[in-house]
Structure 1
Amino acid sequence: MKTAKELLLDYLNHIGNPDFQIGLFADDAVFELPYLASLGLPARWEGREVLYKFLSNLPKTFPGFKFRNIQIHIDTPQQAFGEYEATAVIAANGKEYAQHYMGRLVAKNGKIQLIREALNMVPVIRDIKGIDIS
């Protein structure tokens, strides 16, 4: 049975491969990006079918999306917390996207029960939403 750290690393290292990733999630899993709600964007996805659609859209929306500089700060069998960076291109406008994430994963019975990520909202506002913040 996989630990939370192993699940988090598998999720991060296989970003862009939703067919692999969906096998890591429990049937009733939840994925949250709570700060997106401040921009009126969806911030919570529940269940494998919804998660699969979310994970499948990522490579289309952000070609070349990859996580790097992964640092795990909390590692218990049921929970892991890490920081990681991502780079990609935004398909809608061709801009470069660089992001710093913090993520908490909760595991149950060797599957992902919850991923909750926080991210730097400046690149989201500036590069994705196209709002001038200077």
Structure 2
Amino acid sequence: MKNAHELLLAYLDSVADPDKAAALFAEDGAIELPYLTSLGIPARTEGREAIRAFLTNLGEAVPTFSFQAPDILIDTPDQVFAEYAFETVTADGRPFSQLYAGRLVAKDGSITLLRESLDVVRAARAMLPGGVACIPRRTDRKVAPLERQFMAEEMATG
């Protein structure tokens, strides 16, 4: 049975093979990328089939996607935290480099949760048709007042 460290290495090695990567997850396992909501993409993908579909879409957009060796920062049998990166080009030829910080939780030899953080500006530049200009504006009531305040401060300072 694989521990968290071994599962992370297996996932990073197999991310270009959605079937193989998704098989590492528990039936109800999930990938969370909370900052993707800034790009209008759901933060959570749950279940092997949904994870397979998510990784398939990623592979179509970035066909040469593969991670460099991770820098393991915290390592226990059931959790691992690491940074890992890639540098490639998208299917339409745009450069795309990214540094992820990921926490993997394992149980019974499967991934129950992989929560990753990434630079959404780099992702937008590479993946959205119009780059950062296509980042949707947040309009929910909790965020909009803060965004308006930030924009007002930006306008005032030049």
User: TM-score scaled to structure 2, two decimals?
Assistant: 0.78
Tell me, yes or no, if the aligned pair for 2:106 and 2:112 is still in contact at 8 Å. Answer: yes
Which residue of the partner structure matches residue 98 of structure 1? 97
Instruction: Look up the equivalent residue of 1:107 and give its one-letter code.
Output: A
Aligned pairs, number: 131
Q: Secondary structure at the match of 1:58?
A: helix
The structure that has the greater radius of gyration is 2
Instruction: Look up the equivalent residue of 1:131 and give its one-letter code.
Output: V
Structure 1 runs of 4+ aligned residues shifted over 6 Å read none
Q: Which deviations, in whole Å up to 9, do the C-alpha atoms of 1:25-45 show, x marking residues without a partner?
A: 100001111001022122210
Distance 1:58 1:125 in 2: 13
Distance 1:25 1:121 in 2: 25
| Higher fraction of strand | 1
Unaligned runs of 5+ in 2: 134-158
Q: Which deviations, in whole Å up to 9, do the C-alpha atoms of 1:87-110 show, x marking residues without a partner?
A: 22222x320100000000000111
Tell me, yes or no, if the aligned pair for 1:64 and 1:87 is still in contact at 8 Å. Answer: no
Tell me, yes or no, if the aligned pair for 2:30 and 2:114 is still in contact at 8 Å. Answer: yes
Root-mean-square deviation (CA), in Å?
Answer: 1.3
Task: Determine if the alignment matches structure 1 residue 131 to structure 2 residue 132.
Answer: yes
Distance 1:44 1:36 in 2: 9
Unaligned runs of 5+ in 1: none
User: TM-score scaled to structure 1, two decimals?
Assistant: 0.91
Distance 1:131 1:63 in 2: 21
Q: What percentage of aligned pairs have identical amino acids?
A: 50
Choose between structure 1 and 2 for higher RCO, CA contacts under 8 A separated by at least 6 residues.
1
Q: Which deviations, in whole Å up to 9, do the C-alpha atoms of 1:49-95 show, x marking residues without a partner?
A: 1111112222111010010141111110110000011122222x320
